Structure 1
Amino acid sequence: MDLESVFARARERLAPVPREGLGRLVVPGGLRRALGGQPRIVPDGEAWRVGVLLLADDAVYEVGDVLRAAPERRRGFTAESARQRAQAAAMCIRGGFAEGATVNVDHTRIDLAAVAAGGASGPLDGRGETVTVRWTSGGARMPLETYLRERIDMILGG
């Protein structure tokens, strides 16, 4: 299977759909840290989120954490995880994302060459007759082309 062609067709279909931001964590060090620099999540490209995959112009990634950029607010949290998510959302604002923007962080690049050669990378598996994608945490697999077609149909509303 020619994975580059499969993903090129997917990108063509997704062309009218807005992309989401890719973010990269920056932690100031040295003098900047001493002067009060705070960690931030900065823009690092854009991609379409198609289920468990992020399709950028030049790469395919496995989805990591998805955040909604929001200003920092003082509030009580019932769970430590809620406090951490709020801090991460504020890091997106500090990094330059607009309030309300969807930001994908901790995404992992998929090695398409390894998959095409019959191996596996991230949720993609090229071992067998067809490339499959693991689309649930329980490990359910589906042929990649079917997965992309169905997910893009949902995104396009058809």
Structure 2
Amino acid sequence: MTAAALLANARDELRDVPQNGLGVVKVSRWRGTRIVRAGQAWHLGVLLLADDAVFETGEVLRAAAEVRRGYTAESARARADRRAQARRGGFAEGEIVHVDWHPIDVAAVDTGDASGPLVLVDGEPHVRWAPGASPVPLAGYLAERIALARG
């Protein structure tokens, strides 16, 4: 089965599962830096499956109001700022937001090229689920991730 067909089947199985927000960073002189909505997708591990596209997962965060507090690490301060940018951009408090995602060319994968974490191995679509990990069959990966998404 092709990657495109496997992903189409996954969409059908996920129709009643809520999607997460996709965000992009907008910089404005008047409104400051914020993360605004650019769509929605189901989060399936290293893949974000939208109604008409597939993306490689980037940063995942929850929108939160900006609060003043002390941080022991600069990375914690930066993460809090990103959450506040999503809230200022219109995401609801606590809403999951995906930022820095990258499009995957599924048609290229089906013709033998790799795109993002997807690759064809011996004619079968596979996914590299972690950097440096061996690719696993996409069909099994999607089945496992769909079961987790259904909770």
Q: TM-score, normalised by structure 1?
A: 0.91
Where 2:17 maps in the other structure, the secondary structure is: coil
Identical positions, percent: 54
1:8 aligns with 2:8: yes
- 1:13 deviation in Å? 0.7
Alignment of 1:20-99 (within 5 A): 20-28=20-28, 33=29, 36-99=30-93
CA distance in 1, matches of 2:123, 2:111: 12
Tell me the C-alpha RMSD between the 2 structures: 1.2
Mapped contact 1:22–1:44 kept (Cα < 8 A): yes
Mapped contact 2:2–2:125 kept (Cα < 8 A): no
1:118 aligns with 2:148: no
CA distance in 2, matches of 1:148, 1:97: 27
Task: Report how many aligned residue pairs link the two structures.
Answer: 151
Runs (4 or more) in structure 1 with deviation over 4 Å come to: none
Q: TM-score, normalised by structure 2?
A: 0.95
2:27 maps to a residue whose letter is V
Q: Deviations over 1:45-70 (max 9, x none)?
A: 00000111000011000000001000
- 1:137 deviation in Å? 2.6
Q: Deviations over 1:17-73 (max 9, x none)?
A: 110000010011xxxx1xx43100000000000111000011000000001000001
CA distance in 2, matches of 1:128, 1:134: 15
Which stretch shows the higher mean deviation, 59-68 or 127-136?
127-136
Q: Which blocks of at least 5 consecutive residues in structure 2 are unaligned?
A: none
